Amino acid sequence: MISTQVSHHINAPRDAVYHALLDARSIANWMVPDGMTSQVHVFDPCEGGVFRISVTYNAPTAKGKSAAPRTETFHGLFVKLVPGEQVVQLVELETFDPEKRGEMTVAITLADSEDGGTELQARHEQLPPGLSPRDNETGWRMSLAKLAALLERTMQCA
């Protein structure tokens, strides 16, 4: 199975990063690649809790992977939550394309960095064959840059 892994340094403490991983309002702002908007439909951040999120391309000619035009919707389950350390989810894209179907595992691990910030490592495993690992990695990098900007802005205002 195909997997991707990305790392990102965030100038914020681990607890703040962990909170942003489990806050629906934060998710709507950061967990969306550039050129898209996000809508959180369901979000229950506890072990066994479910979520459902849609991201929609801003460009009117873009085509998403789900049934709705320009939209990609995915749902999942929180498998493991270790406060301040790790979030593990099962995720599945809602699509009619059998090459893009299948349950994926997303594991985000947090560690302290020497400068007081956080090192975030995101591993996305079991990508279906119809999903591009390169695009997946690019989307994660865009999203994690937004997460860092959101948290760093918040830390400056505190």
45 domain-assigned? no
69 domain-assigned? no
pTM of the model as a whole: 0.91
Provide the CATH number for the domain around residue 82. Answer: 3.30.530.20
Handedness of CA 103, 104, 105, 106 (dihedral sign): negative
pLDDT at 153: 82
107 domain-assigned? yes
92 domain-assigned? yes
pLDDT in tens, 59-102: 666 565 655 667 789 999 999 999 999 999 999 999 888 999 99
pLDDT at 134: 95
pLDDT at 72: 86
63 domain-assigned? no
pLDDT band at 36 (very low <50, low <70, confident <90, very high): confident
| Nearest-angstrom CA–CA distance, 36 and 97 | 21
pLDDT at 152: 87
| Nearest-angstrom CA–CA distance, 74 and 50 | 11
pLDDT band at 58 (very low <50, low <70, confident <90, very high): confident
Q: How many separate domains does the chain show?
A: 1
**Cβ within 8 Å of residue 77, ≥6 positions away:** 48, 49, 50, 51, 89, 90
| Nearest-angstrom CA–CA distance, 6 and 28 | 20
Q: Output the average pLDDT for the chain.
A: 91
